[in-house]
Amino acid sequence: MSAPPPALDLTAIRADFPVLCQRVHDRPLVYLDNAATSQTPSAVIDTLRTYYETYNANIHRGLHVLSERATAEYEAARRRVAGFVNAAHAHEVIFTRGTTEAVNLVARSWGDAHVNAGDDILLTELEHHSNLVPWQMLAKRRGATLRYVPISPEGRIDLEAYARMFGPRTRLVAVTHMSNVLGVITPAARIVQIARANGVPVLLDAAQSVPHLAVDVQALDADFVAFSGHKVLGPTGIGALYAKEAWLEAMDPLFGGGSMIRTVELHESSWAGLPEKFEGGTPNIAGAIGLGAAVDYVQNVGIDAVTAHEDALTERALAMLSDLDGVRVLGPQDTTDRGGVISFTVDGVHPHDVGTLLDADGIAVRAGHHCAQPLMRKLGVAATVRASLYLYNSPHEVDALAEGVARAKAFFDEH
Ligand code: 7TS
């Protein structure tokens, strides 16, 4: 067994996040909405500032010093992101606006070429709308059918049912790697193995996993992996699609325009090589470079140490919340194959009211359907309160959450 990862130096880490050092409603901010978006360390803010202050320029075209530097930093960021998820080649990482754009890119560029009338696509009942609606749109365009792998009451994928769902017309499996509602971590490697045995490619929605656990795209052997920069300490408006080189080589681009062509004639064009073929137009240069700095930051802390820290906080939160009368935590009740996304309901109190009362205490959570309406229906709830953790959260903040929820419950019991 390898040695456990070192404990995080929370004081030092928190000092790296200027936004955390503020008061909200005259209380210290307790930021527990990391599944929606994460906060930005000074290293990333400084990287963006340096870009705009010293070498803001368009890439892959200028002959001048600024453009050459911007191009070099942009491509270095691609290598950093590729290294972070252990892609075999940097050009297997396509910068996108985020997970949503990455999934849509595959649904269009890959889906339109491979999915036909009568085919089916396997999804699960756990999916975020971003890994559901693009497939509905594809199915409508092509006359295909979506089929959903069932889940257990705590949100575990039924692997036996999954294995039985493959047929001769199954073209793709698209599945989340970590639920943004229940924190369930899906058995991605096993999911891919079973799909591979059936000759079917797999897209992993890694929006919630890449920020919080080691994701090795080669070990997982996934064909497509989508994630967002803003959930992994990076800027908004930047994310990535990892795809195996052979797929990217074979796929047509989604966006036509500058930078993605080799030659353009009046009536036809030929495409540039990878990765430019999929990055038509001026990309989010600053965002990509900022994302490179963000994954560097996470790597310096150590992703296994981040996971261990969040596991400890999750255990504490599960124990404290389950101890409260009338509070029901959804999803797995321990940290086995579970991340720090904790959805719960409070008897007799609407989740939005819990969220509003917590906000008055300076505690930021999300309440609602979390862009997973089919999952909500499956769980038999209209909405939940959701607290989601990251590397800068402290045990003290988990305590503040539990106290805040207890206060909210008591307030509604009295009124
Ligand atoms: N997939 C999952 C599992 C997600 O959690 C999200 C965002 C997305 C896809 C879409 O990512 P985007 O960056 O393209 O928007 N999830 C959430 C959330 O849970 N609350 O706000 C955004």
* Cβ atoms within 10 Å, residue 297: 21
Extract the tokens encoding 359.
């906000």
pLDDT at 1 exceeding the cut of 80: no
Residues 372 and 260 in one domain: no
Cα separation, 411 vs 415, in Å, equals 6
Q: How far does the centroid of ligand 1 lie from the alpha carbon of residue 174, in Å?
A: 15
Residues 410 and 352 in one domain: yes
Cα separation, 216 vs 119, in Å, equals 30
Q: What is the pLDDT at residue 16?
A: 98
Cα separation, 223 vs 106, in Å, equals 10
For the whole model, what pTM was predicted? 0.98
Range of the domain at 390: 10-31+302-414
Residues 27 and 130 in one domain: no
In this structure, are residues 383 and 351 in contact, taking their beta carbons and an 8 Å threshold?
A: yes
* Cβ atoms within 10 Å, residue 303: 20
Residue 66 within any structural domain of the chain: yes
Residues 253 and 340 in one domain: no
Extract the tokens encoding 180.
């943004």
Q: What is the mean pLDDT of residues 297-307?
A: 98
Which residue, of 241, 269, 300, is where some domain finishes?
300
160: left (phi over 0), alpha (psi -120 to 50) or beta: alpha
pLDDT at 184 exceeding the cut of 80: yes
Query: Is the shortest distance between the CB of 370 and ligand 1 below 6 Å?
Result: yes
Query: Is the shortest distance between the CB of 99 and ligand 1 below 6 Å?
Result: yes
Mean pLDDT of the residues in the chain: 97
CATH number of the domain at 306, please. Answer: 3.90.1150.10
Q: How far does the centroid of ligand 1 lie from the alpha carbon of residue 126, in Å?
A: 13
Query: Is the shortest distance between the CB of 34 and ligand 1 below 6 Å?
Result: no
pLDDT at 409 exceeding the cut of 90: yes
Residue 4 within any structural domain of the chain: no
Kindly report the protein residue whose alpha carbon is nearest to atom 17 of ligand 1: 36
Point out the ligand 1 atom lying closest to the alpha carbon of residue 179: 3
Cα separation, 165 vs 214, in Å, equals 29
Extract the tokens encoding 163.
């294995």
Point out the ligand 1 atom lying closest to the alpha carbon of residue 100: 14
Residue 37 within any structural domain of the chain: no
Question: What is the C-alpha R_g of the chain?
Answer: 22
CATH number of the domain at 258, please. Answer: 3.40.640.10
Q: How far does the centroid of ligand 1 lie from the alpha carbon of residue 162, in Å?
A: 24
Query: Is the shortest distance between the CB of 109 and ligand 1 below 6 Å?
Result: no
Q: What is the pLDDT at residue 356?
A: 98
Kindly report the protein residue whose alpha carbon is nearest to atom 5 of ligand 1: 180
Residues 191 and 282 in one domain: yes
Residue 173 within any structural domain of the chain: yes
Which residue, of 300, 323, 354, is where some domain finishes?
300
Kindly report the protein residue whose alpha carbon is nearest to atom 21 of ligand 1: 36
Residues 17 and 125 in one domain: no
pLDDT band at residue 304 under the 50/70/90 scheme: very high
Q: What is the mean pLDDT of residues 156-163?
A: 98
Residues 191 and 287 in one domain: yes
Q: What is the pLDDT at residue 2?
A: 64
Helices 303-323 and 285-301, axial angle in degrees (round to 10): 80
Kindly report the protein residue whose alpha carbon is nearest to atom 18 of ligand 1: 36
Residues 222 and 169 in one domain: yes
Residue 231 within any structural domain of the chain: yes
Q: How far does the centroid of ligand 1 lie from the alpha carbon of residue 36, in Å?
A: 6
Query: Is the shortest distance between the CB of 205 and ligand 1 below 6 Å?
Result: yes
Q: What's the pLDDT tens digit per position in 96-152?
A: 999 999 999 999 999 999 999 999 999 999 999 999 999 999 999 999 999 999 999
Q: What is the pLDDT at residue 266?
A: 97
Q: What is the mean pLDDT of residues 331-345?
A: 98
Query: Is the shortest distance between the CB of 104 and ligand 1 below 6 Å?
Result: no
Known catalytic membership, residue 371: yes
pLDDT band at residue 359 under the 50/70/90 scheme: very high
Q: How far does the centroid of ligand 1 lie from the alpha carbon of residue 320, in Å?
A: 27
Q: What is the mean pLDDT of residues 211-221?
A: 98
Residues 20 and 67 in one domain: no
Q: How far does the centroid of ligand 1 lie from the alpha carbon of residue 128, in Å?
A: 7
Q: How many domains does the chain have?
A: 2
Cα separation, 241 vs 81, in Å, equals 10
Which residue, of 271, 300, 329, is where some domain finishes?
300
User: HEC profile for the chain?
Assistant: CCCCCCCCCHHHHHHCCHHHCCEECCEECEECECCCCCCCCHHHHHHHHHHHHHHCCCCCCCCCHHHHHHHHHHHHHHHHHHHHCCCCCHHHEEEECCHHHHHHHHHHHHHHHHCCCCCEEEEECCCCHHHCHHHHHHHHHHCCEEEEECECCCCCECHHHHHHCCCCCEEEEEEECECCCCCEECCHHHHHHHHHHCCCCEEEECCCCCCCCCCCHHHHCCCEEEEEHHHCCCCCCCEEEEECHHHHHHCCCCCCCCCCEEEECCCCEEECCCCHHHCCCCCCHHHHHHHHHHHHHHHHHCHHHHHHHHHHHHHHHHHHHHHCCCEEECCCCCCCCECCEEEEEECCECHHHHHHHHHHCCEECEEECCCCHHHHHHHCCCCEEEEECCCCCCHHHHHHHHHHHHHHHHHHHHC
Residue 345 within any structural domain of the chain: yes
Q: How far does the centroid of ligand 1 lie from the alpha carbon of residue 292, in Å?
A: 20
Kindly report the protein residue whose alpha carbon is nearest to atom 16 of ligand 1: 36
Q: What type of residue is 250?
A: A
Considering only the C-alpha atoms of the chain, give the largest distance between any 2 of them, rounded to a whole number of Å. 74
* Distance set, CA 68 to CA 4, 57, 72, 118, 290 (Å): 42, 8, 6, 49, 17
Instruction: Tell me the best of 38, 100, 103 to mutate to test the pocket of ligand 1, counting ligand atoms within 8 Å of each CB and taking the most.
Output: 100
Kindly report the protein residue whose alpha carbon is nearest to atom 6 of ligand 1: 207
Residue 401 within any structural domain of the chain: yes
pLDDT band at residue 183 under the 50/70/90 scheme: very high
Q: How far does the centroid of ligand 1 lie from the alpha carbon of residue 69, in Å?
A: 32
Q: What's the pLDDT tens digit per position in 232-265?
A: 999 999 999 999 999 999 999 999 999 999 999 9
Extract the tokens encoding 215.
């994701």
Q: What is the pLDDT at residue 179?
A: 98
Contacts of residue 5, defined as CB under 8 A and 6 or more positions apart, other chains included, come to 302, 304, 305, 307, 308
Kindly report the protein residue whose alpha carbon is nearest to atom 11 of ligand 1: 99
Catalytic residue among 371, 385, 389, 401: 371
Residue 3 within any structural domain of the chain: no
Point out the ligand 1 atom lying closest to the alpha carbon of residue 180: 5
Residues 253 and 319 in one domain: no
* Cβ atoms within 10 Å, residue 350: 15
Q: What's the pLDDT tens digit per position in 6-46?
A: 899 999 999 999 999 999 999 999 999 999 999 999 999 99
Q: What is the pLDDT at residue 6?
A: 83
Residues 80 and 213 in one domain: yes
Residues 252 and 309 in one domain: no
